[in-house]
Amino acid sequence: MKVALYYPWIYLTSGGERVILELVRRSRHQWKLFTSHYERGNTFPEIGEMDLTELNTVSVRRDVLSTGRSAATILSQRLPDDDCDALFVLSEGLGDFILFRNHRKPSICYCLTPLRAAFDPVYRKQAFQKRGVLGRMALTAGLAAFSAVDKLAWKRYSRVVYLSQEALDRAKLAGFVSNGPTEVLYPGVGLSADRPSDRFDPFFLISGRIMWTKNVQLGIRAFQRFCATHPEAPEARLVIAGMVDAKSASYLEELRSIAGEDPRIEFRISPSDEELRRLYAQCYALLFTPLNEDLGIVPLEAMAFGKPVIAVNRGGPTETIQHEVQGFLEEPTPEAFADRMAELYFDSSRAVAMGRLGFQHARLFSWDHFVGRIDDLLEEIAGMGSALPQSERKAISR
């Protein structure tokens, strides 16, 4: 069968783009990709070789006005998918709006998260703190309008599958989830090794997109505290490796300001997969600082190279990391992170042991399983009646 896949923006090497890459590589079906924002030079080059159609362009900015315009553009877009048997929407919120003019085909939503500004309390609090009074008023009104429209869009899905329990909990908070069955389907690991690394160089790694939601300043301040309280570790370093898009350029400058001129703190911007593999293989441990991540593939990647993880005890990491087994789950304070950094740094046998347990744990997250399940679900909904949303099919069956 042929499947239309819609993702509003393909312009990074983040989790959404990785899902697309692995689906098209491994699926037993044919895929036709649609996007409203494509940047060939900033995403996986293999995506450019796929059957991809660029639609009316939307902005990747997240201010109220830009988001409203993007929502209107997506809502009014008609996909040229007449030769497709089903629609697969990879959604972080706005992607749902494609259903308004494209609901004739059975559809699956792979929910990375409902819109975080609306339905993630931690993200929402941070978003409000970054705005003045008028900005908060505009955000409140915009989110209320978005929520009302998004609930209508969700009713058009034939099936919804969730990236994580955290994403499912947000959907429940939003009132999107009915009393029917729900399914969490974890993706595979983006980067991995055949065996756990035996190399533990004296640097901590922060990997992933560099943007304000990742709370990278926590890792910098934790490293600074570690250095201040442990002068006996002068060789310790911190490497921050990730992509920065245009809207996060000012945040990167803020991070550089916090780091100061300290030569022990290094930024690696837009690293290749090969460079990231080297960093994972060589680092001592990973710091994972987002305040409330949807899931967090980066900790799994670090574990897949046999490295322990120190992560915030909230959101996705609580689903993938067992405290004091593959790493530590801590409160988001420099003091808590610095204490665990020291605990690992001065006990290399424990760091190695945790890393090896993490390596085994990461192998449970399989792309073959993920893609096989998506393929099965697409075939399940491809029948004549499956084009209707579940609520309408139940009504007919009565």
Single-letter amino acid, residue 91: S
Residue 235 has which token pair? Answer: 């060789």
**How far apart (Å, rounded) are the C-alpha atoms in residues 346 and 350?**
9
pTM, entire model: 0.93
pLDDT at 48: 95
Buried b (16+ CB within 10 A) or exposed e, 39-48: eeeebbeebe
User: Residue-wise pLDDT tens for the chain (398 aa)?
Assistant: 999 999 999 999 999 999 999 999 999 999 999 999 999 999 999 999 999 999 999 999 988 899 999 999 999 999 999 999 999 999 999 999 999 999 999 999 999 999 999 999 998 998 898 889 988 898 899 999 999 999 999 999 999 999 999 999 999 999 999 766 789 999 999 999 999 999 999 999 999 999 999 999 999 999 999 999 999 999 999 999 999 998 899 999 999 999 999 999 999 999 999 999 999 999 999 999 998 999 999 999 999 999 999 999 999 999 999 999 999 999 999 999 999 999 999 999 999 999 999 999 999 999 999 999 999 999 999 973 444 444 443 332 22
**How far apart (Å, rounded) are the C-alpha atoms in residues 273 and 167?**
27
250: number of Cβ within 10 Å: 10
pLDDT at 393: 38
Edge-first strand order for the sheet with 86-91 is: 52-54, 30-35, 2-6, 86-91, 107-111, 159-162
pLDDT at 127: 87
According to DSSP, residue 72 is labeled H
Is the Cβ–Cβ distance between 342 and 229 less than 8 Å? yes
Is the Cβ–Cβ distance between 299 and 362 less than 8 Å? no
Domains and their CATH numbers in the chain: 2-188+367-397 (3.40.50.2000), 203-362 (3.40.50.2000)
**Main-chain phi, psi angles of 344, to 5 degrees:** -75, -45
**Which of 287, 289, 234 shows the shortest CA–CA distance to 263?**
234
Residue for token pair 């959404």 = 16
pLDDT at 179: 64
**Which of 50, 15, 9, 12 shows the shortest CA–CA distance to 33?**
50
